[in-house]
Amino acid sequence: MAEPLAASPDPISQKCLSFLRDLLEGLHPRDFAVRLWDGSTLEEERGEPRRFTMVLKHPGALRALFQSPSELSLGEAYLVDDFDIEGDIGSAFSLADHLVRLDPGVGERLRFAWRLSSLPSPARGRAVRPSERLHGDRHSRVRDRQAVTYHYDVSNDFYALWLDARMVYSCACFASPEEDLDTAQERKLDTLCRKLRLRRGERLLDIGAGWGGLVLYAALRYGVEAVGITLSRPQAELANERIREAGLAGRCRVTVCDYRDIDGRESFDKLVSVGMFEHVGESRLEEYFGRAFRLLRTGGVFLNHGIASNPAAPPIPGPSFSDHYVFPDGELLPISSTLRAAEAKGFEVRDVESLREHYVLTLMHWVRRLEARREEACRAAGETAYRLWRLYMAGAAHKFRTGRNNVYQALLSKPDRGASGLPLSRADWYA
């Protein structure tokens, strides 16, 4: 293990460096450095390229990080600037995995606790977490609106800084790792339309339409009448502004509406939902698919695109940072649970495609674009929002990269007395 570049006269710094050496013993490859508030440094392992530097900002930072290490406590320490990550933040999550999975024996645990107790405490109290501000029954209409607007109403200008030109806030489809984000997002929109086999004059419902990228694309390129719904008023306002500018106000619109409040049996030829399903919740799965089944005409199809958990992945110890700060009340379920609920309400599963590697590429594009416009992002939404989204998106990329999470497009049909009305192959998707 490498020694610090230079001995520090500060005894607190020396205690921190000693603690870190012992804590990181056995972690290979150690391709990062740690720099303390006074400039003293623990270097990366000899021969390893440095991917990032973890910067501890004050003498109480180490205790804030490791007093009770969990995904939540590490994330909160980053949010309040107890530490920062210089360089590739995505690479830092292997270190985070190591820290939250440490399982020392009783004696070693006591020794670590004693050493931490000799270090200064962070001079801050715990802030109220966004998840603690929600009220009402979980997944009720009132509470769902609070949870969704917390995440999406940050600032349209903030999202516009790092999303693609259409502001599509979901996994893109890349032809190669080198492809640019705008091209990959357009390919994703076209893939959705092809999988739905949209035809001119059909009625399309987009559940969770965001800033309207898909309804605009489907109306313009495929000639459908498209209706999108969202719980975020700023999203709907910007979407409709873009629709008017494109001269498509007569053929598509986005409204503020809960999916449970849409009426009209068999009102739509096709249904799509992209990146909204994660907010539904396991207790509402059959209600969600039951509503979609009633809204869809017989012979129609529903494309449901959403993130799924991997039930084979070992659970991360402790509370989740994302649950408290990113998507309060969000639930990631195994794809098997999703399909079982869809089938229980009458849908036939026709196709399931994983886009896991595509989401890694998408998220890293977003992280780099956000980092490149840090000052503008901080002006638009504040330093905390910048740090939150940088951490969340880099952490999400790590979970997709390591297979902890996946993202699936499931094509579901509503057969007409057994007749699906679908061709024998997928060839027309790729024509």
State the CATH architecture for 11-117.
Answer: 2-Layer Sandwich (3.30)
Q: Residue 396 — pLDDT band, cuts 50, 70, 90?
A: very high
Q: Where are the alpha helices (DSSP H) in 284-355?
A: 285-295, 321-325, 335-344
Domain boundaries, the chain: 11-117, 141-429
Res 6: pLDDT: 47
Res 3: pLDDT: 47
| Token pair belonging to 24 | 């990181």
Q: Tens of pLDDT along 83-105?
A: 999 999 999 998 888 877 776 66
Partners of 41 in the β-ladder: 35
Q: How far apart are alpha carbons 377 and 205 in whole angstroms?
A: 32
Sequence-ordered list of residues with C-beta below 8 angstroms from that of 33, at least 6 positions apart, any chain: 41, 42, 43, 44, 50, 53, 54
| Token pair belonging to 330 | 């969000």
- DSSP-derived letter for residue 287 is H
Rounded average pLDDT over 383-406: 96
Q: How far apart are alpha carbons 45 and 247 in whole angstroms?
A: 59
| Model confidence at 2: pLDDT above 70 | no
Res 107: pLDDT: 63
Mean pLDDT of the chain, nearest integer: 91
CATH of 141-429, one of 3.40.50.2300, 3.40.470.10, 3.40.50.150, 1.10.10.10: 3.40.50.150
DSSP 227-263: EEEES-HHHHHHHHHHHHHTT-TTTEEEEE--GGG--
Do 373 and 318 form a contact (C-beta atoms < 8 A)? no
Q: How far apart are alpha carbons 228 and 211 in whole angstroms?
A: 9
| Token pair belonging to 167 | 């502001």
Q: Tens of pLDDT along 5-62?
A: 444 468 889 889 988 888 888 788 889 999 999 999 999 888 888 999 999 999 888 8
Rounded average pLDDT over 109-118: 77
Nearest to 130 by CA among 148, 113, 114: 148
| Model confidence at 427: pLDDT above 50 | yes
Of 103-112, 253-262, 280-289, 307-316, the least confident: 103-112
| Model confidence at 405: pLDDT above 90 | yes
Nearest to 170 by CA among 407, 430, 329: 407
Rounded average pLDDT over 308-319: 89
Residue bearing tokens 């009220």: 135
